[in-house]
């Protein structure tokens, strides 16, 4: 994953203490098949601050890095709120290229921060990560050098509603 996403070291605060283990939790009947069909790599269940269930699949483990997908939307929304409050971003109606100039000429050129936050950037995103066709978004998500869709014109007008897919929000992270 490091090769695919160019990680950067950040100074971190000490991690919080690990959650206490609660009473064992059994997944509902049929969960095994459901997880297998969706190629799930891990499941954690917490209740009232206690870890009730933790399991890893497909050869993964607790030290493997994961892509946060939709979780990133919550963090980005909170971060944007802080940046607005501090004045680092003047308005969510500003174009994303004002703060992420590398996106000029890309599919996001002309989209506002509000468009991106509302999943209305006009950028079409296909969330089939098992499609290994070099032009598919699934392929591009794992091999950014193949991400031609990122630099192509939008496939829908800016401000048009596109499906709530992580590509519309997680691709805003260069900001």
What's the average pLDDT block by block, 10 residues per block, for the chain (175 residues)? 62 76 88 91 88 92 81 86 94 93 86 88 69 55 44 50 46 39
Q: Does one domain contain both 107 and 164?
A: yes
**CA distances for 47 relative to 21, 28, 54, 63, 102, angstroms:** 10, 16, 12, 22, 42
pLDDT at 94: 96
Q: Does one domain contain both 83 and 160?
A: yes
Domain that holds residue 31: 21-66
The pTM of this model reads 0.51
Q: CA 62, CA 12: separation in Å to the nearest integer? A: 19
Of the candidates 6, 42, 68, 70, the residue annotated as catalytic is 70
pLDDT at 131: 65
Q: Tell how far CA 133 is from the center of its chain.
A: 21
Q: Does one domain contain both 147 and 75?
A: yes
Structural contact between residues 156 and 107, judged by C-beta atoms closer than 8 angstroms: no
Q: How many domains is the chain built from?
A: 2
- Specify whether 70 is catalytic: yes
């Amino acid at each position: 994953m490091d090769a695919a996403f160019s990680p950067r070291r950040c100074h971190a605060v000490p991690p919080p203490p690990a959650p206490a283990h609660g009473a064992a939790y059994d997944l509902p009947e049929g969960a095994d098949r459901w997880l297998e069909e969706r190629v799930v790599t891990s499941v954690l269940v917490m209740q009232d601050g206690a870890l009730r269930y933790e399991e890893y699949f497909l050869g993964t483990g607790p030290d493997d890095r994961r892509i946060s997908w939709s979780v990133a939307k919550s963090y980005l929304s909170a971060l944007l709120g802080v940046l607005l409050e501090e004045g680092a971003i003047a308005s969510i109606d500003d174009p994303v290229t004002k703060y992420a100039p590398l996106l000029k000429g890309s599919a996001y050129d002309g989209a506002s921060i509000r468009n991106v936050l509302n999943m209305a950037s006009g950028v079409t995103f296909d969330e089939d990560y098992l499609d290994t066709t070099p032009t598919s978004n699934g392929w591009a998500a794992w091999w950014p050098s193949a991400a031609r869709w990122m630099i192509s014109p939008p496939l829908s007008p800016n401000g048009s509603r596109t499906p709530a897919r992580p590509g519309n929000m997680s691709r805003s992270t260069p900001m």
